[in-house]
Structure formats: structure tokens, C-alpha cells
Amino acid sequence: MTVRSISAWARERAGSLPRQFALVVAIVVAPVLVALFVVGSLMVVSEHGAALVAVIVAAAGLVAIVAARLVAGGILRDVEAIRDGLVAVGRGKREVRIETSANDELAQLAAAANVMIVQLRDEEAARDQSDAARRDLIAAVSHDLRTPITSLRLLAEAIGDDIFEDPDTRRGYLRRMTTHIDALSVLIDDLFELSRLEAGDISWTIEQVPLQELVGETVEAMRVQAEAKGVAVVAEVPDTLRPAQANPEKLQRVLFNLIQNAIRHTPADGSVVVRAKSIAAGIELEVADTGDGIRPEEREHVFTAFYRGGTEAARTSPGAGLGLAVSRAIVEAHGGRIWLADASIGTRVRFSLPAAM
């Protein structure tokens, strides 16, 4: 057994630092007491006895020094380990774990330092992720603003320069300008809505919403767009379904986003079905289509703002990529959740809401 292992064993057996120091004192004092006892017994004996006492005292001193060095050496090494670990953290290292040789107050200090290091690492990782998301958001918004603004500038210059004298051509340019303006308006509205939701700034009125009526109105409003693309849109909501506890305007916005995405990514002669049913936790709604679907590796990202995978995996409008992100924020603000259900054909988006009591 090495000197270090002996020191660690002794400290482990002693326990806390006060007990360790008490052990050292006991080791030092005990031989001295023995020496005093011997001196008292041999006080009237010859010089040989005196020499024996001196030897005993010297041996006691040697034992005390060795014991103190063993225990103090282990303590010093642990103190140095804690110091070196904290210095490394201060220099930017985050994969640091401080180890001590005994289970005492220094071990508790090392454990607390390790917890602090892990928390610091997690907080920095979250901050870096947030910074990256903010940079991506700025880049995406800049890109999505640049295209319509550039087009509007060119169209406005063409109209202003009287290049086109034909009224029909001029009206066509104005229609294209209106399309770009509408796209900008939707992007700004979505950004404003998403920022408010993520900040917890919610001031909606919650009421009992009859889903058969709301879903029917939403599907009917989308029917013109669906028929223009040759896609059938159907609502399947039972008459006996209990109302949802929600804000009707926000809930309808979620349905509009999901149905519009489904229509856009469903080929002609395909279909989009909106279903609703009661579940133990409340109400579950589903928008299912027979479109091209979403690749498995992209499924976990589709509700992220501005995410784009292969063939526009986020399934949102060509302009932004906020439709599903806004829908998720609205659903979660209602206390529900939204997810992609398994589908052999197309895509099935489901979300839950609390039911009216």
C-alpha cells in the first residue's frame, strides 16, 4: 500500500475534517502521555531510564510528524485539485470534473463545484443555441424581406417610368405588387404573433368553441383554394363532440395554417381531411393529406420557425416558414401540444386542446 493510499484510507475512516484533525492530535498526544507515564515510573531510576524516556519522546515526535504529513498531505492534494479545477474553468474549460481522495467537507466542496461547472456549461450551451437561433432568424427574415421588396421596387419603377402604356399590363403589375404586399403583411403579422406568444404576452378570451361549426366554416373558406388545385377538402367532426376550451380566432388560425399547408403539398386528385375526436385529456384534431409527406430525419424540425428541409420540409408558404411555428405556439399557449402522427401516405398533423368543462 502506497503512502497516498494509506493517507486516503486514514481520512476515509476518520470522516470529517474535525475528526481527521482530532485523530492527528490523538496520535501526537498519546505517545507523549505514555512517555510522561514512563518518566513518572522511572524517575528514581538510573541514567539508563532517562535515556529510555528520551528515546520514547523522540519516537513519539517522529510518529506525530509522519502522521501529520500523511493526513495533511492528502488534504493539501485535495485543496490543490479543487483549486486547479476552478482555475481551469476560469480559463474557459467546461469538461472539468474535480475528484478528491476522501469523503469529507472537501469532497462536498468538490461536488458543489462540479454541479456549478455543469450548470455553467448548460447555461452557456443554451445561450449559444439562443444566439445561433437569433442569427438564423435575422438572416431568414432579411432573406424573406429582400425578395418582395426588390420586386416591389422594380415594379414601382417600371410603372413610374411609364414603360407600359397598356392599361392591362399596368393592372397586371399592380396585382403583382399587391401579392408581394400581402406576403409582407403575412410575414410581419406572423413575426409579431410569434414574438408575443414566445414572450408570454397572451390576452385572449377563452370560451367554449363548438368544433363542428368552426371546422366546417374553416374548411368551407379553404374550398375555393383547394378546388383550384383539384384537391378535395373534407371535415369529419361528430355531432356529439364536446366543445373545446379555446379562443376561436386563434384556433381557426391554426386550422387555416395546417389546411393551407396540406393543400399546397397535395397533388391534384388528392385529398385533405380534417378530423376531431374526444380523448381522455380533452380534444384531439387532425389534418391529414395525401401529399408527398415529410422525411423522417426532418420530422422533429418542422415546427421550428424558418426551418427548411428538402423540398421545403416545413410545409409553409414560399415566403416565410412561420406557419407551423405560430401554430405550435398557439396550441401550446392553450395548454395543448402539436405533433406529426405516423402516416403511410402523406402527412398527418395532430394537436390537442382542453375540452370545455
Task: Please give the chain's pLDDT, 357 residues, in tens.
Answer: 565 565 566 656 656 655 666 666 666 666 665 665 565 565 555 556 556 656 666 666 566 656 666 666 777 788 888 888 889 888 888 888 888 887 878 888 888 999 999 999 988 888 887 777 677 667 767 766 777 788 788 878 777 776 666 777 777 878 888 877 877 877 787 777 777 777 777 778 899 999 999 999 999 999 988 998 999 999 999 989 999 999 999 999 899 989 988 998 899 999 999 999 999 889 999 999 999 888 887 887 788 776 655 444 444 444 456 788 888 989 999 999 999 998 888 999 999 999 987
Q: Which of 148, 170, 146, 147 is nearest to 158 (CA)?
A: 170
Q: How many CB atoms lie within 10 A of CB 318?
A: 10
**Residues in CB range of 165: below 8 A, 6 or more apart:** none
Please tell me the class of the 132-198 domain.
Answer: mainly alpha
Q: Supply angle C-alpha 333, 339, 344, rounded to 5.
A: 160
Cβ-contact 271, 232 below 8 angstroms: yes
pLDDT at 53: 59
**How is the chain split into domains, by residue range?**
3-103, 132-198, 207-353
pLDDT reported for residue 163: 63
Whole-angstrom CA distances from 327 to 182, 216, 276, 288, 303 are 20, 19, 17, 16, 8
User: What was the pLDDT predicted at 338?
Assistant: 94
Strands (E), the chain: 207-209, 232-236, 244-246, 271-279, 282-289, 338-341, 348-353
Question: Are 132-198 and 207-353 equal in CATH topology?
Answer: no
Instruction: Indicate the CATH number for domain 207-353.
Output: 3.30.565.10
Closest CA to 182 of 289, 68, 317: 317
